[in-house]
């Protein structure tokens, strides 16, 4: 068994409390301020990487990452991570979408109020010795229309605060229907939102789909004299088009926390415009948010490293933190059952996989459980690393059919997972459950009934059903210096067939030791699950 401790590289400031959590789970190295070349040279040997917004994780920086299995983004946006490159290498990318939502939403409201009342300019004038009272006439917010683009966590915070300011709130989000919107929020099409809103605030994800979303066409559709708030991700707003709209007077003002290029160049036109409020990407910069994002990311990384459970995965089926306790043990079980089944058919081609879920697992469970099982089924046969990140793509490339179904309770266990696989036209299955919300058990292997722990390393033996056989196998293991942690027996399903043994060991067997056991005359077939 590999006892080498996991290694985690912290590339941006995480906070002392978060580091303490991670140090309990792995060896932690903090090295901030790395450019692409330094990160590329540093990553070999590390199992996990944690970043915030400063470190850029490019495809090139990942080329030498020989052990990296997870990248944690302490925050919401992942535009500083090449997710496609990470996915290609089977590396999980996770973020903390809930940690900074309140703080970022409150900043958008602060920008709105500051812009409406010209607070930054008035502050600068007064500190410069001027009393320009008549120069800073603003507008009231009561009764004005606030258009919220994007009704994710941050957008909902902004919409709620907007209602509290006695504003009429419109929202647009192609993934949110009116029935799913918060009370008092009217969902409209984007063009209608732009035409009717006195203030438009942007809260959509960054990326290719939204790059340049706000350009000349969008600004032309906005209500004359309206104002823009942008605290999402740089690149969503075409800054040249924004400057044109501001200079022409079509937009009265704008307030921005994020930019196409950060830091914002010193000679950038936006810096000199009196009707623009600028902040240096401080959306998540509150004491509460920094602590929350640090703790959340540390807990997620630690859970992933110790239990294999991925929360808030960006490139894997998402599991929310609130579901971790219920789904987590079944993820491990689905993976272990599939590895066990595939390891028993090492020379046969996997053609299809069916995952059947029975009982009271949450409605969000089928997808992550199926992917976990698929990754486990592919692992013993794959010529490249297989993780939940790339398992579906590899299965598609190999032409493996995958199916999932859920059933009501029909048996004695509250929740069951049954994994059926077809190897070279022959169907085989394993069934398992979780006891006490944490202990995985395999209870069926084909026609054998058993109660065993399916966690590797273990041996599966099909052996003679006669006195002294178990002792002979155990004695041989002892003579080879191998320790048996647990052994469970499955009786023959019919007369004249082999008995089944599941032997949990404390380390994988060396090939020569496995060969010794294969030579025993009482052993019909033997398989190792390492």
What H or E segment, with its residue span, contains residue 303? helix 287-307
Among residues 203, 230, 281, 354, the one annotated as catalytic is: 281
State the Cα–Cα distance between residues 365 and 328, nearest whole angstrom: 10
Q: Taking CA 432 as the corner, what is the angle to CA 504 and CA 524, rounded to the nearest 5 degrees?
A: 50
What are 23's two structure tokens? 């140090």
> Phi and psi of 427, rounded to 5°?
-95, 135
DSSP state of 150: -
What are 443's two structure tokens? 């209870």
Contact (CB, 8 A) for 473 and 461? yes
Q: Are strands 7-10 and 27-30 parallel, antiparallel or unpaired?
A: parallel
> Strand, coil or helix: what is 110?
helix
State the Cα–Cα distance between residues 365 and 185, nearest whole angstrom: 31
Neighbours of 52 (CB within 10 A): 21
Among residues 227, 230, 233, 299, the one annotated as catalytic is: 233
Contact (CB, 8 A) for 50 and 301? yes
Active site residue 89: no
Closest to 225 in 3D by CA, of 246, 255, 203, 201 = 246
Beta pairing partners, 186: 170
Active site residue 281: yes
Among residues 247, 262, 288, 518, the one annotated as catalytic is: 262
What H or E segment, with its residue span, contains residue 154? helix 153-164
Q: How far is CA 471 from CA 306, 478, 507, in A?
A: 35, 10, 20
What are 35's two structure tokens? 């450019």
> Phi and psi of 229, rounded to 5°?
-120, 130
Contact (CB, 8 A) for 228 and 133? no
What are 199's two structure tokens? 């203030």
Active site residue 153: no
User: Within 13 Å of residue 66, how many CA atoms lie on the same side as its CB?
Assistant: 4
State the Cα–Cα distance between residues 331 and 391, nearest whole angstrom: 14
- Show the DSSP H helices in 351-468 as ranges: 366-378, 391-398
Q: Which residue numbers are catalytic?
A: 233, 262, 281
């Amino acid at each position: 068994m590999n006892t080498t401790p996991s290694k985690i590289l912290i590339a941006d400031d995480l906070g002392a409390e978060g580091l303490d959590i991670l140090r309990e789970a792995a060896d932690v190295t903090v090295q901030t301020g790395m450019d692409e070349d330094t990160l590329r040279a540093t990553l070999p040997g590390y199992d996990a990487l944690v970043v915030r917004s400063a470190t850029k994780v490019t495809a090139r920086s990942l080329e030498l990452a020989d052990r990296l299995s997870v990248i944690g983004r302490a925050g919401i946006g992942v535009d500083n991570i090449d997710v496609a490159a990470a996915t290609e290498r089977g590396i999980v990318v996770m973020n903390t979408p809930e940690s900074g939502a309140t703080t970022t939403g409150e900043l958008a409201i602060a920008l709105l109020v500051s812009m409406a009342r010209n607070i930054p300019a008035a502050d600068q004038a007064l500190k410069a010795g001027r009393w320009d009272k008549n120069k800073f006439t603003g507008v009231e917010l009561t009764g004005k229309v606030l258009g919220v683009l994007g009704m994710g966590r941050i957008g909902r915070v902004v919409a709620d605060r907007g209602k509290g300011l006695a504003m009429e709130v419109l929202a647009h989000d192609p993934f949110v229907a009116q029935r799913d919107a918060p009370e008092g929020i009217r969902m409209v099409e984007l063009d209608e939102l732009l035409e009717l809103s006195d203030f438009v605030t942007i809260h959509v994800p960054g990326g290719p789909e939204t790059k340049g979303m706000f350009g000349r066409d969008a600004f032309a559709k906005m209500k004359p004299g309206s104002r823009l708030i942008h605290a999402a991700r740089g690149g969503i707003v075409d800054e040249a088009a924004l400057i044109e709209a501001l200079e022409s007077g079509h937009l009265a003002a704008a307030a921005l926390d994020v930019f196409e290029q950060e830091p914002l160049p010193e000679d950038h036109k936006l810096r000199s415009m009196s009707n623009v409020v600028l902040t240096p990407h401080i959306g998540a910069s509150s004491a509460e948010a920094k602590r929350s994002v640090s703790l959340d990311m540390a807990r997620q990384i630690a859970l992933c490293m110790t239990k294999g459970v991925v929360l808030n995965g960006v490139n894997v089926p998402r599991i929310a933190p609130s579901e971790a306790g219920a789904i987590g043990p079944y993820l491990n079980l689905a993976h272990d059952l599939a590895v066990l089944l595939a390891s028993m058919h090492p020379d046969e081609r996997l053609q299809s996989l069916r995952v059947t879920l029975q009982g009271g697992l949450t409605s969000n469970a089928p997808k992550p459980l199926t992917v976990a099982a698929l990754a486990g089924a592919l692992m013993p046969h794959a010529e490249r690393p297989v993780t939940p990140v790339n398992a579906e793509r590899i299965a598609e490339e190999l032409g493996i059919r995958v199916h999932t179904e859920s059933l009501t309770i029909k048996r004695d266990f509250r929740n069951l997972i049954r994994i059926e696989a077809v190897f070279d036209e022959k169907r085989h299955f394993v069934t398992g459950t979780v006891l006490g919300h944490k202990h995985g058990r395999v209870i069926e292997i084909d026609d054998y009934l058993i109660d065993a722990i399916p966690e590797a390393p273990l041996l599966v033996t099909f052996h003679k059903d006669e006195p002294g056989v178990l002792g002979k196998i155990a004695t041989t293991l002892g003579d080879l210096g191998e320790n048996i942690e647990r052994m469970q027996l499955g009786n023959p399903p019919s007369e004249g067939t082999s008995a089944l043994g599941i032997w949990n060991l404390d380390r994988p067997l060396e090939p020569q030791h496995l060969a010794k056991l294969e030579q025993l005359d009482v052993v019909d077939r033997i398989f190792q699950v390492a």
